[in-house]
Amino acid sequence: MPAVPAATAPEWYAICQAALCLGAAWAILSMYVRGTPRRRDEPEPGPSPRDPGLLWLGLGVGVWGLVGVTLLWPLPAGAELVLRPLLSSANSACLLISASHLDYGPELLRRAQDWRHWRRAAIAGSLLTAALTLALAGAFGISARLAQLPDLLLSVLTLALYGFGLSRSFLRRGFPSLSVLAAVAVGAQLLAQLPELSGPVDAIGLTAERRWALNLSSKALTVVAFLALAMSWVHELARRPLREAVRLSFTGQARARGARRRYVVIANGAELELRETPHRDLLALALRRLQGSPDGGWVSLPDLVGRLDDSRIRRLREDLRPAGLDGAVEANFQKAYRLALEPSQLSLDRAALSADPELARLLGGEQA
């Protein structure tokens, strides 16, 4: 959120924001520390992995809480000028990094996550925004609209990207009503930013006092959406089948979907439709696993997709997620992947698959 002078914020607003956001941050970070939940019948080879998206989300909400705390303190003019733009930009950086870890987030951010310097770049970009805000405030005064513009633009961009990821995540996980809640929360947050550029918008009744009420209520709705996102993630994990019980069958059956085709695989007796390229990549991984190679079926990314680009792996996992099998595509963090199922769990209809020339070449390569 854009920084604002402490004098313009009512005390009730500062207290409510601090209590709400620090409490929510505590809850989110507690879920991060606890780690990814496992089913009771799943083996526990080691400590539960932790989702970095939860960490950065908790930090971002915690920064909102710290802003509320600073609004209660009569800071010296110089400290106020420096601290609040830094906190606002830090909040945007944390939320952008968190959004890049959303399973159904914007493709732009999911690609950015694959870049090893992404987190540093996001933090550096936020610091640059804060520095520009401070420079403009020094030149034109802290209350000047131009001085608040860089921070406002970063906040609006962050809200738009995270709002898209939130809404899409709820839709894909089967919670359309929560998708609407996310859209309303983010829309209200954007509306609350209008006075940063134009002052109180009397034409729509957004006077100074109502602006703070809208700001707080929109933030509360957003925090509720964040917590609901974490619960929907747990709900999705609970639907995943026990990996040792999975049976995956490649039928070779293709179905037309407009100008494109979808291939049918059977996952635990239920049909799952995959796009052409994800189906081809999954079949390649399955064939390597069926070969019983001593390396455990690992395939380097260039051998699998022809280049060092993880976007096809993301698309494959996205198509497998409805069956809870996205975690079955494992990475060794050295640009190699494998299908983490035993050969006995895989079956192929070779005759049907061979009817497709491209899939037949894959089968022929295996035989060679």
Q: Does position 134 have pLDDT exceeding 60, yes or no?
A: yes
Long-range contacts of 181-188 (CB under 8 A, 24+ apart): 181/221, 181/224, 181/225, 181/228, 182/225, 184/221, 185/218, 185/221, 185/222, 185/224, 185/225, 186/159, 186/160, 186/162, 186/222, 187/163, 188/214, 188/217, 188/218, 188/221
Model pLDDT, residue 48 = 65
Q: What is the pLDDT of residue 141?
A: 72
pLDDT band (50, 70, 90) for residue 235:
confident
Contact 133, 150 (CB under 8 A): yes
- Cβ atoms within 10 A of the Cβ of 186, count? 22
Q: In the predicted model, is pLDDT for residue 110 greater than 80?
A: no
Check pLDDT > 70 for residue 5.
no
Averaged pLDDT for residues 203-209: 63
Q: Which residue has the higher pLDDT, 311 or 91?
A: 91
| pLDDT (tens digit per residue) in 249-278 | 999 888 887 778 889 999 888 888 899 999
Mean per-residue pLDDT for 85-104? 89
Single pTM value for the model: 0.75
Q: Is the pLDDT of residue 6 over 60?
A: no
Confidence band, pLDDT 50/70/90 cuts, at residue 283: very high
Mean pLDDT value of segment 334-362? 88
Report pLDDT digits (tens) over 288-315.
988 877 667 888 888 888 777 777 888 8
Model pLDDT, residue 356: 86
Mean pLDDT of 9-22: 91
Tokens of 17: 């924001």
Q: Minimal CA–CA distance to 97: which of 132, 58, 69? A: 58
What's the pLDDT tens digit per position in 30-87? Answer: 988 888 776 655 555 556 678 888 999 999 999 999 999 988 887 776 676 678 888 9
What proportion of the chain, given as a percentage, has pLDDT over 90? 27
pLDDT at 315: 85
Domains detected in the chain: 6-38+45-238 (1.20.1070), 243-367 (1.10.10.10)
| Interval 198-205 mean pLDDT | 54
Give the chain's mean pLDDT: 83
Could you tell me what percent of the chain has a pLDDT over 70?
86
Residue with the two structure tokens 């870049």: 115
Q: What is the mean pLDDT of residues 2-8?
A: 50
- Give the torsion sign (CA, 120, 122, 126, 128): positive
